[in-house]
Structure 1
């Protein structure tokens, strides 16, 4: 991991507070259709209420036939930013980057720099590594220092009825159907998941958190 250097931010998806979801499926021109495209970011309390879970999903709308060939780019850093002081500047980051079939995690750790440029914090005392789960395989989960890690393809959990949404926007419908039609049914994403003890995050109970993908 000594060869990991500085990378440049190209995509951002933001979400505020502990319990929130943000979604953005393939409409950012700079990353559309690429391995750095962020589809969703989830932040929520874990089953163990002393923990927080962060989920970053990339590469949306993968068909089952193409998912087996989908990979995490070794040139793309996924960085979860955490602001626990309310100034909208990251106080901590959790970084994830793929190498040779594994996903390496660094943090939570104070970044050496803030903003669009990042240096991978290879000297972070909190870290982990997990084998990237292959398609149609049981999830491989690694644990270290109270944290849990996963990386690999998963069914897209985001639900949206785009046809009905378009009808509402177009004035031909007044609301969503119950049940609606899931536009993303049968499509997959590449997921990165980390569960972290709240004690490692700090703050007074509310955080701002957002995810970025950054390329060399």
Structure 2
């Protein structure tokens, strides 16, 4: 079995029984704008209520012109971590890594090691999907009871940063309804996997978080 080691670069953490959302569009200068910079993590029940959907967004604040040239970094592994016994240690992982325009998925399966280092679970291939190009209809794939997508999407995160700054500066006391979406017109690169709940803990409560890790 070929083993490729990745080390953690960034992480967003969430807790999921039905829905979890975490967002982080503004990182430290050394990370912001990097190809492995995570902007959002979503975990929610699928339209098929027997399924769980996990979404990782990277490379935020992409303009339409820069989106057309944006690509997933082939030296980056995106890893969805699933804790089934509430000890805050991953019991299962679903991994996604790109190669030559294809996003490959592995798991859910027990990681070869927990913590900051990861090795691709080449013996637990789940499926793959062609990465959707900007402006193209979404390409999805279904394999082994799971569904996959990878490609650019409109940034779903809403935040009125102008009003936030006014509140911080003492010029306002509350947000407007509706506010101004500071992220309108910007895009992200999304990795989406829909997995049967029976493969990741059944009907019980799970903790889940996502990490991006660079090849070492």
Instruction: Please give the range of the TM-score, normalised by the shorter of the 2 chains.
Output: over 0.9
Matched, 1:188 2:176: no
Distance 2:36 2:2 in 1: 20
Q: Give 5+ residue unaligned stretches, structure 2.
A: none
TM-score (norm 2): 0.96
Post-superposition offset of 1:204: 5.3
In structure 2, what is the Cα distance between the partners aligned to 1:49 and 1:137? 28
User: Secondary structure in 2 aligned to 1:159?
Assistant: coil
Q: State the Cα distance separating 1:143 from its structure 2 match.
A: 0.3
The list of structure 1 runs, each at least 4 consecutive aligned residues, that deviate by more than 6 angstroms after superposition, is: none
* Alignment RMSD (CA, Å): 1.2
Match of 2:82 in 1: 82
Q: How many residues align?
A: 214
Task: Determine helix, strand or coil for the equivalent of 1:186.
Answer: coil
Residues 45-81 of structure 1: per-residue CA shift (max 9 Å, x gap): 0011000000000000000011010000100000000
Q: For residues 90-127 of structure 1, give each alpha carbon's deviation from its aligned partner in whole angstroms, at most 9, with x where no partner exists.
A: 00000000000000000111001000000000101x51
* TM-score scaled by length of structure 1: 0.96
In the alignment, does 2:11 pair up with 1:12? yes
Matches within 5 A, 1:194-205: 194-202=193-201, 205=204
Please tell me whether residue 58 in structure 1 is matched to residue 58 in structure 2.
Answer: yes
Q: Secondary structure at the match of 2:74?
A: coil
Q: In 1, distance between residues paired with 2:117 and 2:204? A: 28
1:1-216 correspondence runs (5 A): 5-18=4-17, 19-124=19-124, 127-202=126-201, 205-216=204-215
Q: In the aligned structure 2, how far is the partner of 1:112 from the partner of 1:135?
A: 35
Alpha-carbon distance, 1:205 to partner: 1.7
CA distance in 2 between partners of 1:114 and 1:192 (Å): 22
Q: Is the 8 A contact 1:84 1:204 kept in 2?
A: no
Aligned equivalents of 2:140 and 2:184: distance in 1?
A: 25
Task: Say if 2:2 and 2:122, in contact at 8 Å, map to a contact too.
Answer: no
Q: Contact 1:84–1:203 at 8 Å: present in 2 too?
A: no
Segments of 5+ residues of structure 1 without an aligned counterpart are none
Q: In structure 1, the residue corresponding to 2:123 is in which secondary structure?
A: coil
Q: Distance in 2 between matches of 1:22 and 1:28?
A: 17
Return the offset for 1:3.
5.6
- Deviation, structure 1 residue 28: 3.4
Tell me how far apart the structure 1 counterparts of residues 29 and 202 of structure 2 sit (CA, whole Å): 35
**Aligned CA distance change for structure 1 residues 148 and 204 (closer, same or farther; 3 Å):** closer
Residues 63 and 186 in structure 2, CA contact (< 8 A), matched pair in contact too: yes
CA drift at 1:4: 5.5
